[in-house]
Amino acid sequence: MYIKEYSRRFHIIFLSFLVFFTFLIGRLFYIQFFHSQYLSSIAKKQQSLYIELEPQRGVIYDAGMRPLAINIAAESLYAVPREIKDKEKTIQLLVPILGIDYNYLKDRVYRNKSFIWLVRKITPSQAEKIKALKVKGLGFIKENRRAYPNGYLASHVIGFADIDNRGLAGLEVFYDGYLKGVSGWAFFLRDARQNKLNISEHMFPPKDGFDVVLNIDEVIQYIAERELDKAFKDYNAKGASIIVLDPYTGKVLAMANRPSFDLNYASLASVNSRRDRAICDLFEPGSVFKIVTASAAIQEKTAEESDKFFCENGSYKVANHILHDHTSHGWLTFKEVFEQSSNIGTTKIAQMLGAHMVYRYAKLFGFGQNTGLDLPGETRGMLKDFRVWSKTSIGAIPIGQEVGVNTMQLAVATAVIANGGYLMKPYVVQKIQDKQQKIIKEFKPVTVHKVISTETAERVKIILRGVIESGTGKLAKLDNFTAAGKTGTAQKIEPDGRYSHRKFVASFVGFAPAEDPAVVIAVIIDEPYPYYFGGVVAAPVFKRVAGEVLKYLKAKQLGTDKVAMLYETKRAN
């Protein structure tokens, strides 16, 4: 009886173990063949750490290979919330160091995650203070932060990048495809405590971005910005722009706007400060547009420089509109009409040409269309087809009313006279190269088309030289060089559609030296006060910029390094 009972218990225990082991074998079989991939992935996540390897963004250099946009090392703070024991204490320690919102940190630190960014690209001092806390669950990853050594200089041209080094404005976004590079990645092994071992299991190295070399010269840019800033402040202006071009190639040597902003703190700047007025803002050019009318009349042999026009003593009726001159004139020669900037004389010449011809030459000079500049945000301007002109348009468009332009269009149009009659495509970047300075892409001058003959350009050049020597642009006259140019004073349009008697755009476009131009300079001052005439407000800016830039270029051409270095030292200080 006892033996039978013992035998039965033995069989029960044996069968129980058999069922248990059968279950274990079945479970292992299931795991091995049906669940292995999932468990392997969990193990891999625990044993390996995936890190994206950031490429070095390309450097932006000026024409003299001086850096305008660079990368500097920065540390980014991350957290492993599951490993932070005292979360509240950790938050309290981090808030004063990082200077960020308590609730923001709390939201991130209390998440049930194995990795989360807290703050990207912090300062070295912040990183050192946090490391000194020795809080388990906090870590750092080295990244690159975009930096701009010159702050405000050429800010609208260079643009800026975001925290992930993606271009957002200016050249940074226009050439982002070349600058950003290609990210890499690596799997690093981790120990049982989840500490990173400096052993990579797999790695794909990042490919750094290409460097961009500009036509802009840092010294010329500094001169232009300094003088523009002075006029902007002296005349309490709403805005201002300046462009310096090489008339024969279309190279942009300098380009600036006011108000401006520091590229290192772009996120703090207002939208108004970040706007690239030189290519985004449209305005009626006023009398500087008379260059088109003068060129068309000479090219079409409609008038000669010695031909005389009666300027009606300052009052002339065009359809139902009375046109006025800023100063009353009687008889003026063709040359004097433009030297003295007579609206009435210019309108009479335009009436001889006809609306279709004025429109044709305005288009040839590049108005009403993009210049093709390699920067984002350029506006086409506004130029009405002659078939929809009103009866008064012939007395408005030839003198720079009822037409919308930007500063770059004026500079490019003026270059036509300076270079002998060719419309050139403006461009900021001269080449793109890799870190070994191997050229990836090079940009050359592009001639859009022939606008006027060389003879016509030379004759208009003489007229524009007269504007400075004996006309409305006397304050643009240089001390050691000849120059040619045109003044402009345009009334702005009020919200009710009428021309303002309080708001003006003062302008001057010109080139120097007159006989063999090295630079074209366009200066626009928006709503200057109390003075508003282009010959008073904008012409002196041209004089100061042209004078210093020509001295600097001559020093470079002659190879007098000491003189060129002196200019660079002045700029640096």
Which element (helix H / strand E) includes 388? none
Burial of 403 (0-12, 13-18, 19+ CB in 10 A): buried
Angle among Cα 571, 533, 337 to the nearest 5 degrees reads 115
The tokens for 81 are 């919330």
**Would you give the DSSP letter of residue 395?**
G
Q: Which of 241, 260, 287, 295 is catalytic?
A: 287
Q: Which long-range contacts (CB under 8 A, 24 or more apart) does 69-73 make?
A: 69/146, 69/147, 69/148, 69/158, 69/172, 69/263, 70/146, 70/147, 70/148, 70/149, 71/144, 71/145, 71/146, 71/147, 71/165, 72/144, 72/145, 72/147, 73/142, 73/143, 73/144, 73/145
Q: Is 507 a catalytic residue?
A: no
DSSP string, 196-241: EEEEEEEEE--BPPPEEEES--HHHHHHHHHHHHHHHHHTT-SEEE
Q: How far apart are CA 197 and CA 195, in angstroms?
A: 6
In the beta sheet, which residues pair with residue 526?
A: 239, 505
Give the neighbor-by-neighbor strand order of the sheet with 184-190. Answer: 48-53, 184-190, 196-204
Q: How far apart are CA 392 and CA 343, in angstroms?
A: 13
Helix or strand or coil: residue 195?
Answer: coil
The tokens for 154 are 């050429």
Q: How far apart are CA 156 and CA 372, in angstroms?
A: 17
Q: How far apart are CA 305 and CA 298, in angstroms?
A: 8
The tokens for 478 are 């240089």
Q: How far apart are CA 370 and CA 415, in angstroms?
A: 16
Helix or strand or coil: residue 153?
Answer: coil
Burial of 165 (0-12, 13-18, 19+ CB in 10 A): buried
Q: How far apart are CA 387 and CA 385, in angstroms?
A: 5
Angle among Cα 478, 483, 487 to the nearest 5 degrees reads 95
Q: How far apart are CA 199 and CA 188, in angstroms?
A: 6
Query: What b/e readout covers 54-73, taking b as 16+ CB neighbours within 10 angstroms?
Result: bbbbbbbbbbeeebbbbbee
Helix or strand or coil: residue 526?
Answer: strand
Tell the residue number behind the tokens 């859009």, with chain if given. 448
Tell the residue number behind the tokens 């039965």, with chain if given. 8
Q: How far apart are CA 57 and CA 211, in angstroms?
A: 8
Q: What are phi and psi of 244, to 5 degrees?
A: -120, 120
- Catalytic site positions: 287
